[in-house]
């Protein structure tokens, strides 16, 4: 059954909920799920509302135009999505394939509401996996000197295939600001540490050296500043002096898989709103 | 600033949110917090909405009567609360006083929005603590033979002091069905296990014997069936073969304190709705 | 490099460590890892000691006989293992294949020190997965009436293939006491609840109905009593009233995979000692 | 019953365990607890061994001298402690008193094997608490200009009272290098973040701004570099966009109390060995 999902953020003001819910009610909308949040510090109102389109009086094509009046009245940042528009997602991967495998298995089990038209890598290692799951595989090797040129090719194919969401499943290359700007709040990364601790490369080694008693993983949207984008999900696991570097890696990889998949799922279900470089999660 | 809190549960139907939010909007209500939940399995709608009374057109004394029309239309279970009516809470305790101490310290720090007119115990151990915190202390020893009679005295003093919430901070006596019925969904217990595992007495000993690798604590409303009421909050902590029974107890007591205080706080802030022997938490 | 692993449990007495460590030292043994534990309640001593065989004066074939004198003196339960004897493991699975897939991927990544000569199932669903990973697949459908007969066939093939460890990766059939007795402390099960809560079938449904705020998974050795064997590993994850039954299942499956794989790894590395229906973990 | 505790770290070599355990065995030592660890990366051996002095052939006064031969042979860093020498601990506190209260309650319950001859503060706020628990209270206000002078007074009284362990229970002043050097690996701090994230002041505010989904607390030994000493214990708790800064603080304070008390307990029981700015925990 086709549904609409409306995401709103705006300055908090009297009457927002009344206006939005009346809009749905008077048009015979059947609310399936609704969640709201008020950030009292910044006086900002956030809302996610999901309703069935069956029986809704306004045709799907006209909903956005109809809602615009309310949106303008309250100065809303807003977007509307339809469950019939299945998101198209691309996975980028390098040599470590545990997150890729995990995403593909969950995809096959139906955990992600999306199609997966491509896997892109700077290495060939993941090619047989892509083949096994029948996903087209593109290999774009990168070195410093050709980075911008290769990124242009990547952008071209991503746009041609109408990719809306990019998942970096332990992709080791850092994108240029230009690439990032093409996909604002649409590139989901997994960083193998509890950010903001251990930014950059080799976080497990950094954690091992520092002698932490807990390690973590962080999934966040990619912004121009390295490992500093809005955090979607994090989790941690206990380690001890008995754990060698390779044990940290093994324990951490279990976290990475779970944390990344939760973030991807929240994103695909339109449950993430970015605000002030933070996320509001309607979970 | 005085606020109203409205708690609703009813069969899900179109228009509930619109009607409720219009009621607030047309009467100039300023929503501070709102949360809702739809249980799709039972088609039940839940809502908690909190608004400022300053500027609200309906006088506080008339709000309930005004809202009744909407409530009746949707066949709601509902209650309305005002932040100016500070809840009155009693703590029951026996010999273990760690939870009592923890509650009193949090109370003093202002974590609980309530007054605390009495501590009741079947032992004298907690008397000096009560004195230290200037809380009236009542000692009601109980044996099987006098239980109902003593409970009658307890009910009398609780009613006389208009106690709305009872917290069992490791109180070892089991209340009669009659007592429980006097305070439906208002008696909060802490059970020192991860319910429904290890119901009844000596849960740490049971856990030690079973050789579990994790122990827990559960805070729940007391119902007539032992340790079977609606669960408000739970938490767990890892243990190992190196932990003796006394280590389980020590680790567990830390859990008990945190779990019980979270449950009490949620309850006092009117963030708990009981439904089907489960809880909806508007946290 | 070939190593020996010695596992000991016995009544605690003066001189055990001295005798054992002298045995290794005088024979030029290079200890790689050693761990011990004293259960003061039952006065029992536990030890796991791992040393390099290179340079050890006693030939591998004679070590057990040489050590027997010390073992007898202290009335030890003991076993000795050599890293050159790679354990042989079988996986049993039914229709849910997430744990199977997880085990196979970890096996391929080298996380498990074993060979995997067979997957056995009472259904055909997992056959293509077994094929994909090049593991021989045996389908033994079972109904109540033919259970003992089918189990006999299973035992035959397990013995023929010298299987030492059996992993039940969400295998739904309950083994007869006879089968269990053939593999004492060698059948590892994953139960999808925080045991001893929700024993038996449909634990997620039981958890959903009870309204718990945390769910768990438990890996344990199979004994004749259902879900009551020695617990090897457990873990938990937070759920809320917003989680439907299918969300509990999805969250729980992530736990199942991690908990089962940790237990299998500990077992294969000879880090588990069973005692009084509990486990000592030398991790 | 009086016990000896021997702590050892040295380059790993054949025969260490044999020599140490023979030393105990031949002198009729009854081992109560023993734990060892080999750091294979640096080839370092660590050991903690605890035995009853009753019946031990070497008089307590001569044990250290007797053991010295073995220690020298293996080039050990070592220390020996006797349970009859109760550690003397001082608590430093500033304005936030939740950790102080928690430590005092645990102390009174007997969780810490120590005496507590003083509480030192740069403010007067904690004075009534100290009085309530009958602990001498010293107020040493500090400003930048008089810091070294005041520290001198603090050192004098700490030495006079033979304080071996200093606990900083949310003490806001940073000690000079000189002060720190007087108490190497003996000053235990609680930092209210998951180190190395959010070093320095206002970590909850930093965490709130960064929009993390988990917050933490870290207990560590104080070294000359701020918040960079060997980590003893850490723990984390989940937060969400619904949590305001004050909620982070409230949730975090529960962590602080538990994490600090665990670290203090491990330290007092001589279960912490510092090595390479990390800790080995014999728990």
Q: What is the pLDDT along chain C (283 residues), one digit of tens a residue?
A: 899 999 999 999 999 999 999 999 999 999 999 999 999 899 999 999 999 999 999 999 999 999 999 999 999 999 999 999 999 999 999 999 999 999 999 999 999 999 999 999 999 999 999 999 999 999 999 988 999 999 999 999 999 999 999 999 999 999 999 999 999 999 999 999 999 999 999 999 999 999 999 999 999 999 999 999 999 999 999 999 999 999 999 999 999 999 999 999 999 999 999 999 999 999 8
Average pLDDT for residues B237-246, to the nearest whole number?
Answer: 96
CA B282, CA B50: separation in Å to the nearest integer?
A: 11
CA–CA dist D188, D231 (Å, integer): 10
DSSP label at C96? -
- Here the tokens at position D243 are 């949590």
In sequence order, which residues have a C-beta less than 8 Å from that of residue B281 and are 6 or more positions away?
A: B232, B266, B271, B272, C240, C241
What is the Cα D156 distance to its own chain's centre?
A: 21
Does C214 sit within 8 Å of B194, measured CB to CB?
A: yes
Whether residue B34 has a cis bond before it, omega within 30° of 0: no
A231–D211: do the CB atoms touch at under 8 Å? yes
B131 has pLDDT over 90: yes
Subunits next to A (3 or more Cβ pairs <8 Å) are: B, C, D
Distance between CA atoms of residues D202 and D194, nearest Å = 13
**From the CB of residue B186, how many other CB atoms can be counted at a distance below 10 Å?**
17
Give residue C1's pLDDT.
85
Does the CB of C129 have a partner CB in chain A at under 8 Å?
no
Give the count of Cβ contacts less than 8 A between chain B and C. 85
Chain A residue numbers with beta carbons less than 8 Å from the beta carbon of B238 are: 238
Paired strand residues for C115: C88
* Helix orientation angle between D60-73 and D16-26, rounded to the nearest 10 degrees: 160
CA distance D22 to B215: 39
Least confident stretch, B237-241, D38-42, D190-194: D38-42
Give the active site residue among B62, B102, B125, B227: B227
The secondary structure of residue C226, as a DSSP letter, is T
C105/A111 CB distance under 8 A: no
Q: Which residues of A touch C132 (CB under 8 A)?
A: 132
Residue B181 has pLDDT above 90, yes or no: yes
Report the share of chain D in percent with pLDDT over 90: 98
Q: Into which CATH architecture does domain C88-281 fall?
A: 3-Layer(aba) Sandwich (3.40)
Minimum distance, in Å, between the CA of residue D195 and any CA atom of chain B = 21
For chain C, give the mean pLDDT.
Answer: 97
pLDDT over threshold 90, residue B141:
yes
Span of A37-41, A211-215, C5-9, C23-27 with lowest mean pLDDT: A37-41
Q: What whole-number distance in Å separates Cα of residue A105 and Cα of residue A120?
A: 17
Interface residue A33 vs chain B (CB under 8 A): yes
How far apart CA C45 and CA C14 sit, in angstroms, is: 10
**CB-CB: which of A25, A35, A36 is closest to B15?**
A25
Structure tokens at C169: 């990766």
Question: What are C119's strand-pairing partners?
Answer: C91, C137
Average pLDDT over residues B245-261: 98
Who among C39, C214, C232 is closest to B236 (CB)?
A: C214
Between CA B207 and CA B201 the distance in angstroms is 11
Structure tokens at A46: 């956030």
Q: Which helix (H) or strand (E) holds A209?
A: helix A203-210
State how far residue D191 is from chain A, nearest Cα, in angstroms: 13
Strand A77-82 versus strand A137-139 pairing type: unpaired
Per-residue pLDDT band for D213 (boundaries 50, 70, 90) equals very high
Domain boundaries, chain A: 3-82, 88-281
Both tokens of D51, joined, read 């035995």
Q: Is the dihedral of CA A152, A156, A162, A167 positive or negative?
A: negative
Query: What 8-state DSSP symbol labels residue C197?
Result: T
**Test mutation, D11, D15, D28, D282, chain C, max C CBs within 10 A:** D15
Closest CA to A8 of A65, A102, A77, A63: A77
Name the minimum distance, in Å, from the CA of A54 to any CA of chain B. Answer: 13
What is the distance between the alpha carbons of residues C171 and C164, in angstroms, rounded to a whole number? 18
pLDDT surpassing 90 at residue A283: no
- Phi–psi pair at C25, nearest 5 degrees: -65, -45
Query: Across all residues in chain A, what is the average pLDDT?
Result: 97
Query: Residue B22: which of A18, A40, A238 has the nearest Cβ?
Result: A18
C276 touches chain B (CB under 8 A): yes
Distance of alpha carbon B170 from alpha carbon B94, whole angstroms: 6
Secondary element (H or E) of residue A129 = helix A127-132
CA-to-CA separations, B272 to A55, B10, B231, C241, in angstroms, rounded = 34, 15, 10, 11
pLDDT for the residue numbered A192: 97
Pairwise CB contact (< 8 Å): A281 & D37? no
Q: Could you tell me which chain D residue has the CA closest to the CA of B254?
A: D258
Q: What is the pLDDT of residues D156-180, one digit of tens each?
A: 999 999 999 999 999 999 999 999 9
| Residue C227 appears among annotated catalytic residues | yes
| Residue among A212, A279, A280 whose CB faces D234 most closely | A212
CATH homologous superfamily of B3-82 = ACT domain (3.30.70.260)
> From residue C169, how far is each of A52, C91, C188, C256 by CA, in Å?
39, 7, 9, 9
Residues of D with CB below 8 A from B111's CB? 250
Residue A144's pLDDT band, with cuts at 50, 70 and 90, is confident
Among chain B residues, CA nearest to A49: B36
Residue in chain A lying closest to D216 (CA): A214
Residue-level pLDDT at C283: 87
Question: How many whole angstroms separate alpha carbon C211 and alpha carbon B234?
Answer: 11
Q: Which residue has the tokens 């006879």?
A: C178
Task: Write down the residue that tokens 């969401």 correspond to.
Answer: A165
pLDDT given for residue D163 in this prediction: 98
Contacts of C24 in chain D (CB under 8 A): 18
CA atoms within 13 A on the CB side of B188: 30
Residues 237-266 of A with CB under 8 A from C: 242, 250, 254, 258
Give D-chain residues touching C26 at CB under 8 angstroms.
18
Q: Taking the CB of residue D82, how many other CB atoms lie within 10 A of it?
A: 13
Q: Exposure pattern of B236-251 as b/e (b: 16+ CB <10 Å)?
A: bbebebebeeebbbbb
Tokens, residue B34: 């709102």
SS3 annotation, B235-268: EEEECCCCCCHHHHHHHHHHHHHHHHHHHHHHHH
Instruction: Indicate if the pLDDT at residue B110 is higher than 90.
Output: yes
Q: Does the beta carbon of D33 lie under 8 angstroms from any beta carbon of chain C?
A: yes
Helix (H, G, I), strand (E, B) or coil at C17: helix
CB contact under 8 A, D98 and B105: yes
Kindly determine whether residue A36 and residue B35, on different chains, have CB atoms separated by under 8 Å: yes
Tell me the mean pLDDT in the region B45-67: 96
Helix or strand holding residue C115 (H, E)? strand C115-121
Q: How far is CA A65 from CA A60, A68, A69, A79, in A?
A: 10, 5, 8, 12
Q: What string of H, E and C letters represents the secondary structure of chain B?
A: CCEEEEEEEEECCCCHHHHHHHHHHHCCCEEEEEEEEEECCCCEEEEEEEEECCCCCCCHHHHHHHHHHHHHHCCCEEEEEECCCCCEEEEEECCCCHHHHHHHHHHHHCCCCCEEEEEEECCCCCHHHHHHCCCCEEECCCCHHHHHHHHHHHHHHHHHCCCCEEEECCCCCCCCHHHHHHCCCCEEEEECCCCCCCCCCCHHHHHHHHCCCEEEEEEEECCCCCCCCCEEEEEEEECCCCCCHHHHHHHHHHHHHHHHHHHHHHHHCCCEEEECCEEEECC
For C235, which residue in chain B has the nearest alpha carbon?
A: B214
Catalytic residue among A227, A243, A254, A283: A227
Average pLDDT over residues A113-138: 97
Contact A247, A205 (CB under 8 A): no
pLDDT of residue C144: 86
Whether D38 shows a pLDDT value over 90: the answer reads: yes
Neighbours of chain B (3+ CB pairs under 8 A): A, C, D
Chain A: residue whose CA lies nearest to D196: A197
- The answer to whether residue C33 neighbours chain A at the CB level (below 8 Å) is no
Interface probe for C, chosen from D24, D25, D30, D54 (most Cβ of C below 10 Å), is: D25
D239 band by pLDDT with thresholds 50, 70 and 90: very high
The mean of the pLDDT values for chain D is: 97
**Which one from C227, C235, C247, C283 is the annotated catalytic residue?**
C227
Helix axes C16-26, C60-73, angle to 10 degrees: 160
How far apart CA B204 and CA D192 sit, in angstroms, is 30
* Interface confidence (ipTM) of the complex: 0.95
Question: Would the CB atoms of C105 and A109 count as touching at under 8 Å?
Answer: no
């Amino acid at each position: 059954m086709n549904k609409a999902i409306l995401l709103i953020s705006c300055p908090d003001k009297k009457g927002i909920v009344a206006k939005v819910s009346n809009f749905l009610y008077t048009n015979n909308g059947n609310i399936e799920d609704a969640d709201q949040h008020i950030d009292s510090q910044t006086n900002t109102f956030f809302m996610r509302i999901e309703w069935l389109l069956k029986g809704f009086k306004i045709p799907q094509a006209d909903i956005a135009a109809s809602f615009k009046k309310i949106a303008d009245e309250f100065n809303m940042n807003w977007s509307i999505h339809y469950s019939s528009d299945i998101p198209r997602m691309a996975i980028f991967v390098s040599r470590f394939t545990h997150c890729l495998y995990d995403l593909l298995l969950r995809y096959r089990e139906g955990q992600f509401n999306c199609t997966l038209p491509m896997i892109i890598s700077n290495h060939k290692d993941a090619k047989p996996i892509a083949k096994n799951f029948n996903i087209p595989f593109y290999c774009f090797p990168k070195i410093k000197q050709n980075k911008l040129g290769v990124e242009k090719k990547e952008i071209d194919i991503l746009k041609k295939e109408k990719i809306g969401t990019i998942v970096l499943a332990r992709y080791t290359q850092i994108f240029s600001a230009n690439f990032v700007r093409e996909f604002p709040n649409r590139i989901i990364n997994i960083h193998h540490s509890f950010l903001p601790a251990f930014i950059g490369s080799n976080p497990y080694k950094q954690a091992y050296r520092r002698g932490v008693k807990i390690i973590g993983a962080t999934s966040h949207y990619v912004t121009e500043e390295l490992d500093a984008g809005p955090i979607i999900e994090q989790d941690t696991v206990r380690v001890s002096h008995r754990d060698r570097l390779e044990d940290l890696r093994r324990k951490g990889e279990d976290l990475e898989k779970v944390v990344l998949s939760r973030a991807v799922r929240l994103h695909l279900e339109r449950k993430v709103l970015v605000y002030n470089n933070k996320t509001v999660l309607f979970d």
